[in-house]
Amino acid sequence: MPEKEKLRIDKYLWAIRLFKTRTLASDACKAGRVKLDSKNIKASHEVKIGETYQVSKGPDRRVIRVTGLLENRVDAKKAVEFYLDITPVEQTPAFKSMFHAPILKRDRGTGRPTKRDRREIDDLKDDFFDKKQEEGESE
């Protein structure tokens, strides 16, 4: 695998598959969504092994530590070897989704729910929130 001594941050983020294109990685740097020690960095910033970056991509925020330099884009299984994801558990999407109520969707074209349907929906929601409160009380 080709490793390089000097590598731009936008090219690195593209190569490890955090961004779909290098342009998107560069734009994220310009917009201040890529930080090193809480400071915005330019797309031309030189990546060094051992540095820790905070990358924001939409609602997702990831903290990565560079473990190797990768110049060209490779498949996802190999790309994971070149960085260490040290994102705190509280910031992961899976952790955040635990606290959201279930979203009930109805099939399109079925019309408004009947009184009976509405009661069933309310019972489902009440059961969900009662379980969450009981878990909170037992802690």
What string of pLDDT tens digits covers the 139 residues of the chain?
A: 455 578 999 999 999 999 999 999 999 999 999 999 889 999 999 999 999 999 998 878 899 999 999 989 999 999 999 999 998 877 776 666 666 656 667 788 888 889 998 898 888 777 765 655 555 555 5
> What is the pTM (predicted TM-score) of this model?
0.66
Q: Which helix (H) or strand (E) holds 98?
A: none
Strands (E), 42-102: 52-57, 60-66, 83-85
